[in-house]
Amino acid sequence: MKYLLPLSMLLLLPAAATAAENPATAIDTIRTAGSAGVSSSDTRAALASLTKSGSSSLLPILNAFEGSSVLAGNYLRNAFEAIADAELKAGRRLPEQEILAFIRTESQSPSARRLAYEWLLKQNPDLDTELIPQMLLDPAAEFRRDAVALLIQQAESSDQPAKAVALFRNALQGAVHDDQVKKITEALRAAGEQVNLQKHFGFLTDWMLIGPFDNKDMKGFAVAYPPEEQVKLDARYKGQLGDVAWEPLSIDDDYGLIDIAKQLSNYKGSVMYAATGFESDRKQSVELRLGTPNAWKLWVNGKLAFEREEYHRSTRMDQYKVPVELNAGTNTILVKVCQNEQTDDWAQVYQFQLRVCDSAGSAVLPKQ
């Protein structure tokens, strides 16, 4: 959530905030916002000073986003917007070429690049025509969305079926938002084309499952059952209803949904484990994105990556985004899913889905 200061509030900041402070020093102070020993009055004073420094500070402000906290980013955003707004209202132009170069630098902060783009667009309304078509595979999801939307519009406007299919196919390459993917998929399938959504999103669909283990009175979430100690696929253990063993399960669902309640019986007050392997061609940083209404834990190569003890609040695709490091070669992914004992109709859902992707949401596929 962004907490932005209205531009009018900048006039109320401490009188100590003067243009005398070096802009670089002000930026450094803002980047420490929220840190131990840094007072909010110091941060506000730095913000007031920075907003008086003029357009020469716009690029340094944008560069400062990378590696900054959310709080610091909000202050930096306010400084940038205050300066840009003052420049445009005074009839002065923003440094377009420098800002354009920043926007095109994919390694920079996605939020800073988007901020720069939106303000430059106020100065140059044709900027979207120049930039957006080049951003289909951009690491910033918002730019991708714009590029995909443009291709969808072109495809829907085309009176040539073959050209429309080609445009939709091209759009699908960059699409990471489910609503756009659904629209593209519907159009392609209506044209007789095949679309593999599992592969497109990077859902994991081949699993080994074991359970149920006991979760009566929701005590099982904290219990380390044997699969947490070692994923040994030929092992048998004493479970909630007798001996249990690992069993294979392959999922046909487009969105990789593993419906435990439907496929393995909905044991109330239970724990199930699901394990799979992921072959990575190199050591790399990825996101594991999970959706489930149940309590869960997630391990990668024996290391706990994240956990959440909540039951039946909601579920959606990409509900949880967990950054992890994959090793080159085989990586073992283990998911613990817990069901409570609620009897309400809406509390019977016992399922999860998990995919591997990059920070923009593009699938990271296993090595073949």
Q: What is the DSSP string of 85-136?
A: HHHHHTTPPP-HHHHHHHHH-TTS-HHHHHHHHHHHHHH-TTHHHHHGGG-T
Q: State how far the Cα of 341 lies from the Cα of 268, in Å rounded to an integer.
A: 5
Closest CA to 212 of 270, 264, 265, 258: 270
Q: State how far the Cα of 225 lies from the Cα of 341, in Å rounded to an integer.
A: 19
What is residue 344's predicted lDDT score, i.e. its pLDDT? 86
- pTM over 0.75? The answer is yes
What is residue 19's predicted lDDT score, i.e. its pLDDT? 37
Q: State how far the Cα of 8 lies from the Cα of 26, in Å rounded to an integer.
A: 20
CATH of 201-357, one of 3.30.230.10, 3.30.300.30, 3.30.565.10, 2.60.120.380: 2.60.120.380
What is residue 10's predicted lDDT score, i.e. its pLDDT? 46
Closest CA to 174 of 202, 206, 136: 136
Please provide the average confidence, as pLDDT, over all residues in the chain. 93
Asked whether the predicted pLDDT for residue 232 surpasses 50, the reply is: yes
Kindly indicate the confidence band of residue 342, based on its pLDDT and cuts at 50, 70 and 90.
Answer: confident
Residue 281 CB partners (closer than 8 Å, separation 6+): 328, 367
Asked whether the predicted pLDDT for residue 15 surpasses 60, the reply is: no
What is residue 21's predicted lDDT score, i.e. its pLDDT? 66
Kindly indicate the confidence band of residue 68, based on its pLDDT and cuts at 50, 70 and 90.
Answer: very high
Asked whether the predicted pLDDT for residue 288 surpasses 90, the reply is: yes
Asked whether the predicted pLDDT for residue 366 surpasses 70, the reply is: yes
Span 15-27, average pLDDT: 67
**What are the tokens at 197?**
């959504």
Task: Between 160 and 341, name the one with better pLDDT.
Answer: 160
SS3 330: strand
